[in-house]
Amino acid sequence: MSDTYLLFTTVSFGYEHSLETIINGLTAHCAPGWTGIVGANGSGKSTLLRLAAGELTPSAGTIQSSGSVVYCPQRTDTAPDNFNGFMTVYDKPSMRLKAILEIEEEWLYRWETLSQGERKRAQIAVAIWQEPDVLLLDEPTNHLDADSLRVLYSALEAFNGTGLLVSHDRFLLNTLCYQCAFFEPPRIVMRSGTYAQGKEQQNIEYDSTLKMKHEAESTLQSLNREVTRRRNAADRADSQRSKRHLKASDHDAKAKIDLARVSGKDGAAGRRLRQLQGRVAQAEQTVESIDIKGRRVTGIEIPSEKSKRDTLFTLEPHTIPLGTRRMLRIPEISMAPSDRVAISGKNGCGKSTFIRFVVERLRIAPEKIVYIPQEVDDTAAKRILAEVRSLPNEVLGQLFTIVSRLGSEPKHLLDSDMPSPGEIRKLMLAHGMLHRPQLIIMDEPTNHMDLPSIECLEEALAECACGLLLVSHDEDFLRAVSSTHWQIVPDSTSQNVYSIHRQM
């Protein structure tokens, strides 16, 4: 498939309910290999993939491809198309993918009880199995454990078609991509090289543009100072050529003024002033034309408090079923108000199930809890957006200040019928922060979030006063914000039993 391609020609698109154009005149050529798609939540990355997949129609321009196109969306609510065919065929490609991604035959019958990581592995396996000319992946590393990530890197590296990759995973972007499209609304800039190389070029461009802006502003300030000086000079000249201050008998002085008027010397200062004002207008246009793009002001402080209770929860020994055959054994375990707990384990070991079990047994007021699950379905997302829109203006302003500092555009959220998964998480966190939480529970918090938002969230959680209960496969993130580690591992007594091991 070395001759595969995807071509965008002056493509524009905007949703009917929004006055803004999300994609404006994009022209780009994607050759065999991987093109990274990076940008803030809600900037239009997923929209671009949906356009390429044919789910959306451009308002202008054309999109062409060399052949078949397969799209893997962020969400895994439903089984992918052709899942049944993939699971019931036993050819060499399907058996290889099932082995590599550890996909079990029973998954065909229990999609609803699969973990999000298991669903994501199945979704990607079905996509690669179809051997498309063009493969579109939206956050493929979401929900995957460390072992699955290593397998995914190998599988995507072996793909020899044309791929578009939306991801917040820096390793993936730097390992696979030969070019990256940076979403910098209202433009999209294609830069050659890996994400790191493109980011370096973006920073160079930003610094150069910022320098040009400062130089243009300095020139404008100098010209304005000169305008003031010359205006004062012109006013003095006007005063000097006025006859009102002369005596009626001072004919010599009056004659000199008349001579200056006839020779034109009296208007020289005024003409110089008008010429300079023209230069000022040009300088103002130059300053206005230099648009600084590429960086947003981010950074938040989470207003939180430590609970006065002895414990946030205490669990007695318990066994939780995980599907039909597996189970999770919970020891006697508790969490103190200031504990910062990281939970890790392989896909399907029961991390999200354990979190839901804990949420039902918390001892603190509901409004003092921020709980952000691993996935928020469309119905819940629309309900959250409606609740936010109904807030009083003062409260809504506070919430949107937080959302903006997390790297998203509040106006875009208000215009949207369905915010992106990353934006929904920001809304939920911002809404919870308004109540000074005593406990923040987040299941895979870095999933769906853009890179600047992840770094911002990491810094904020590291400094907050409340308890933290976090599930994540992002080891760097967990190391930065947690002090206690609860690891879910296979029990020594049975391969279908998992248990929680506490590590300090």
Q: What is the pLDDT of residue 254?
A: 57
pLDDT at 122: 93
220 and 180 in one domain?
no
Considering the domain boundaries, does residue 89 fall inside one?
A: yes
325 DSSP assignment: T
CATH assignment at residue 129: 3.40.50.300
Is 193 contained in some domain?
Answer: no
The answer to whether residues 484 and 386 belong to one domain is yes
Question: Does the residue 112 lie in any domain?
Answer: yes
Q: What does the alpha-carbon distance between residue 290 and residue 205 come to, in Å, rounded to a whole number?
A: 12
Reduce the DSSP state of residue 497 to 3 states and report it.
strand
Per residue, the 3-state secondary structure of 234-287, as one string, reads HHHHHHHCCCCCCCCCCHHHHHHHHHHHHHCHHHHHHHHHHHHHHHHHHHHHHH
Q: Are residues 109 and 21 in the same domain?
A: yes
Name residue 346's amino acid.
K
Residue 498 Cα to chain centre, angstroms: 34
Check residue 483 and give its pLDDT: 92
Q: Which domain holds residue 360?
A: 313-503
259, 329: one domain: no
**For each of the chain's 504 residues, which pLDDT tens digit applies?**
568 999 999 999 988 777 778 899 999 999 999 999 998 877 889 999 999 999 999 999 999 999 999 999 988 889 999 999 999 999 998 998 898 888 999 999 999 888 888 899 899 999 999 999 999 999 998 878 777 888 888 889 889 999 999 998 888 999 999 999 999 877 899 999 999 999 898 888 878 888 888 888 888 888 888 888 877 776 666 555 555 565 666 656 556 555 555 444 445 666 777 777 788 888 788 878 777 665 555 567 788 999 999 999 999 999 999 877 889 999 999 999 999 999 999 888 899 999 999 999 998 999 999 999 988 888 888 888 888 889 999 999 888 888 888 877 777 777 777 778 888 888 899 999 989 999 999 999 888 887 778 888 888 898 899 999 999 888 888 888 999 999 999 988 777 899 998 876
Residues 164 and 227 in one domain: no
Closest by CA to 302, choosing from 220, 402, 411, 175, is: 402
Specify if 298 maps to a domain. Answer: no
Let me know if residue 282 belongs to a domain.
Answer: yes
| Domain annotation covers residue 307 | no
> 128, 154, 185: which is the final residue of a domain?
185
260, 401: one domain:
no
Q: Decide if 476 is inside a domain.
A: yes
| Structural domains counted in the chain | 3
One domain for residues 454 and 317: yes
Integer-rounded Cα Rg, in Å, for the chain is 31
Q: Say yes or no: 256 and 113 in one domain.
A: no
Q: Are residues 283 and 333 in the same domain?
A: no
SS3 190: strand
What distance, in Å, lies between the first and last C-alpha atoms of the chain? 51
Give domain status of residue 300, yes or no: no
**Residue 323 in tokens:** 């599907």
**Same domain for 254 and 152:** no
One domain, residues 265 and 331? no
Same-domain pairing of 134 and 218: no
